[in-house]
A and B are shown apart, each in its own frame.
Chain A
Amino acid sequence: MTTMKMGRRTLFATAIATLGLGTPAFADGHQVLDSIHFIIPGGAGGGWDGTARGVGEALTESGLVATASYENMSGGGGGVAIGYMIENAESLEGALMVNSTPIVIRSLTGVFPHNFRDLTLVAGTIGDFAAIVVPADSDISNMEDFLAVYDADPAGTPIGGGSVPGGMDHLVAAMVMEASGRDALGVNYIPYDAGGTAMAALLSGEISALSTGFSEAVDLANQGEVKIIGVTSEERVDAAPDAMTMMEQGIDTSFVNWRGFFGAPGMSDEKLAEYQAAIAAMYDTEEWETVRARNGWVNIHNPGDEFRTFLEEQEQVIGDLMTKLGFL
């Protein structure tokens, strides 16, 4: 349950729930696949659920895939579904499983006995950047201010997040501090059980700054409640053009929480190519644009081998950081 934060946009998942189900396909000649069965490693209403159902909706409504079905398989923070994909590989050629950054983190810590190499890598599809935010009425307005406050009293400048220590929000905070030349071990990271409670703790003054998802931060920034002092994207993001990236503030780091799709191990090359073609074609459809905009997602398309390279890089960076932080 704790692997996926209760994100603001991501949560909305079920919105798309039944819309994708049973929608008649417009068979206008460009159909790539007859059906996709999505396996969702968490419950209804989570970020994985939203991604699978959103992609399913866009694929069926645009006619790229005739029908999509969905199966929520909770348990073990996603581990149960991964085990299921591997154990029942022969019968699951028609199924795709959604997953995201935690598969890398949790495989490293050994919480998952498997890792992404045990599955067929189909494509990374969307992502969300991370952001460091402070309350709107804070004296801090950029990373430089924050680092000055931090240097004066590291232990008294707690940074919160909606994940466990060693989880995504903590790693982002550590990564940023490390890139700014501070010792990641010195960060007083305070974990909360969900993004919402962490945000409340920030506004109540319990923590000095919050490490969170960018799309969550944007909504509250627009309401005038928080200031985004740094985004982990390489360039500024359209949704919040005023929010400076870490890089332009001299902190050389970037991070994206990707979400993507995996197939059962041993999937045939033809089938894999079909899935990848369907997803690649999806990006140009109006239906996808509707779904994407509604959820505030960023297109980050990494098919097949690019996905592998991306995951291996992320595994390396996160692995090094976790070793340094003492989690490995």
Chain B
Amino acid sequence: MLEGILIGLQTALSLQNLIVVIGGCLIGTFIGMLPGLGPMSIIAIMIPVAITMGDPSAALILLAGVYYGAIFGGSTSSILLNAPGVAGTVASSFDGYPMSQQGKAGKALTIAAIASFAGGTIGAILLMVFAPMLSTVALLFHSPEYFALMVVGLSAIAAFAGPGQVTKALMMTILGLIMATVGEGALFNMPRFTAGIMDLQSGFGFITLAMAMFALPEAIFLVLKPKNLGDDGGKIKGLRITRKEARSIAPVIGRQSVQGFFIGVLPGAGATIASFLGYAVERNIAPKQEQGEFGKGSIKGLAAPETANNAACTGSFVPLLTLGIPGSGTTAILLGALIALNVTPGPRLMVDEPQIFWAVIMSMFIGNLVLLILNLPLIPYIAKLLAIPRNFLIPFILFFTLMGAYIGQNNATELLMLVGFGVCGIALKFANYPLPPLLIGFILGGMMEDNFSRSMQLYGGVSFVLERPMTLGLLILAASLIIVPVLRTRFAK
């Protein structure tokens, strides 16, 4: 391995590749900040550039840099505007946005940057040490386990229920699950609940829904609550993290780097699922007095998804590089680019072309460092965005929200859906319904249903729950995540 590291460093530290990694990270992080433009579209745009470079190592370093750069930068608009830049940073807005409302935008951005850096770096270490072994881990998960993993994710919903809101949170989750059934699932060849509308056949867009539920209502609330921002939110009360805060988020970052990485390794899971699961787990294992803060500006609630999504992004390189299997749309595009450069990833990549494998991993360390160094000094200026007077800021948010929804699909119908759901979102917010459970139900619902019906078909019923120990284990974990906090409250009384 030492030899590999040296080969990798040698390649990654060449002048060309240093410029490439810095350039890739910069492009990724800045485009990632724009709502709606996810890593998939950015990478698609960058592929011609990568291919003209001709050198597979440089091309992969560039595209990987763009990928994790986008996840790194994606949290900015989640935190500042409640308008998630990419699907993987939706969970970052749950606590990041409340923090910036409390005037702690600078601190939130700092935590996000450090958590992303740690997640990416620890992820790269895990990738370096365990990649060959992990290819088998990626294949340990069958459909029943994916189903159980989604159930664990759903156990997060209680996190968003304030006092007396438990029923409302459950209702929103179920609404999200119902909305996930619209369109053609992977298991049916007929569209469901599309009312004959062609544009609904592929279901609702996740980014559109996130924009409609978070960004649009927020923009309206800015109009209604004049004192919310601008007057006092613009002042950045310190970027520094106190020692006490650092001590409280350090274990979260440690756990989520590992957990996020492993979720990223699983084909089909990815950064979005990892961030939700990370949030869920951290909320559930937090001490009682801190649980109440989740959703209201908890630093742990921000650090968890920010670490997990970057670690997952690194983890998704395991099946790509060691098996040649793309676990997500983004890595599928990366794979296409590699094949076009005559590199076929798979078990033999490490043997046949070790310099590519190791150079990419080494460039990840450099890239994450570059991102941290670039982002930290810029935070005060980025956070100043909130000091923009409301009458300029609100149109700005609306513009990016509409643009984000349109760009994803290139389809104007998305705009109508955005406005329609936006109105619903505003009404729900007025009625004091928590909106994050709806999105969690929506994103996990589709995968949960597909994997559940697949398991049923493979095992001829629900016997897989008992036949597969890991499924049973995960389901018990989910149950205890829900029951234990309840019992703890009972006994405390």
Contact = CB atoms under 8 A, between A and B. Distances in A.
Interface of A: 1-2, 6, 8-19, 43-45, 50, 72-77, 79-80, 83, 109, 111, 155, 158, 164-167, 188, 190-194, 196-197, 199-201, 203-206, 219-220, 222-225, 294-295, 327
Given A43-B410, A188-B457, A191-B187, A220 B333 contact: no
B273 to A, nearest CB: 13
Interface stretch (B125-133, B232-240, B320-328, B362-370): B320-328
A15 B139 contact: no
Given A200-B138, A294-B340, A111 B190 contact: yes
B413 A206 contact: no
B456 to A, nearest CB: 11
Contacts of B411: 73-75, 80
A141 to B, nearest CB: 19
A164 B142 contact: no
A223 B458 contact: no
Interface string B28-58: 0000000000001100110110010000000
B152 to A, nearest CB: 19
A12 B410 contact: no
Given A11-B333, A193-B450, A200-B267, 14 more contacts: A6-B329, A17-B44, A45-B40, A45-B329, A75-B413, A111-B191, A164-B185, A165-B187, A165-B188, A166-B189, A193-B268, A196-B325, A200-B327, A206-B143
A204 B140 CA distance: 6
A190 B198 CA distance: 26
Contacts, number: 178
Contacts of B319: 200
13 contacts: A11-B326, A15-B51, A17-B48, A73-B410, A75-B201, A76-B201, A164-B189, A188-B457, A190-B454, A196-B327, A196-B331, A204-B140, A205-B142
Q: Which of the four size classes fits the interface of chain B?
A: 35 or more
Nearest to A222: B344
A190 B188 contact: no
Given A194-B332, A206-B458, A6 B186 contact: no
Given A14-B45, A191-B186, A204-B140, A75 B454 contact: no
B336 interface: yes
B326 A6 contact: yes
A223 B324 contact: yes
Most buried by A among B201, B331, B347: B201
Contacts of A9: 336, 339
Nearest to B187: A191
Contacts of B331: 196
Given A6-B326, A79-B201, A13 B348 contact: no
Given A45-B40, A200-B139, A12 B47 contact: yes
Contacts of B189: 109, 111, 164-167, 327
A132 B460 CA distance: 24
B141 interface: yes
Contacts of A199: 325
B202 A164 contact: no
B463 interface: no
B346 interface: yes
Contact of A80 (B142, B184, B199, B458): B199
Contacts of B409: 43, 74-75
B332 A196 contact: yes
